[in-house]
Amino acid sequence: MSRFSTNKKTESLFLAVVMLLVFSIATITPADNDMWWHLRAGDEMWHQGKIILHDAFSYTRAGALWVNAFWLSDIGLYGLWKLGGFLCGF
């Protein structure tokens, strides 16, 4: 057995494993239950051009002061969503 055929087999196996992992990651439902909330918050901040500091989405606490600890990731997730949809960012 030559060295070239061993490398070719290794490359083929590596490619198959990578493709299987990519497929499995792309088909798994996200575990973050707040994903849609994060996308909506990122959308609002993107279009308003400022960080949301008041609760704008809940019924019982609408307008209440709120510490937005995830503002940067919300905008990033929204950007990924706009680029490629569900499979690109999640």
Report the pLDDT value the prediction gives residue 32, as an integer from 0 to 100.
67
pTM score: 0.58
Report the pLDDT value the prediction gives residue 43, as an integer from 0 to 100.
94
Q: Mark whether 84 and 50 lie in a shared domain.
A: yes
Q: Mark whether 85 and 63 lie in a shared domain.
A: yes
Query: What is the per-residue pLDDT across 24-59, written as a single tens digit (0 to 9) for each?
Result: 887 876 666 788 888 999 999 999 999 999 988 888
Report the pLDDT value the prediction gives residue 13, as an integer from 0 to 100.
92
Cα separation, 22 vs 16, whole angstroms: 10
Q: Mark whether 20 and 48 lie in a shared domain.
A: no
| Helix 35-48 with 71-84: angle, nearest 10 deg | 90
Structural domain span for residue 59: 31-90
Q: Mark whether 47 and 89 lie in a shared domain.
A: yes
Q: Mark whether 2 and 45 lie in a shared domain.
A: no
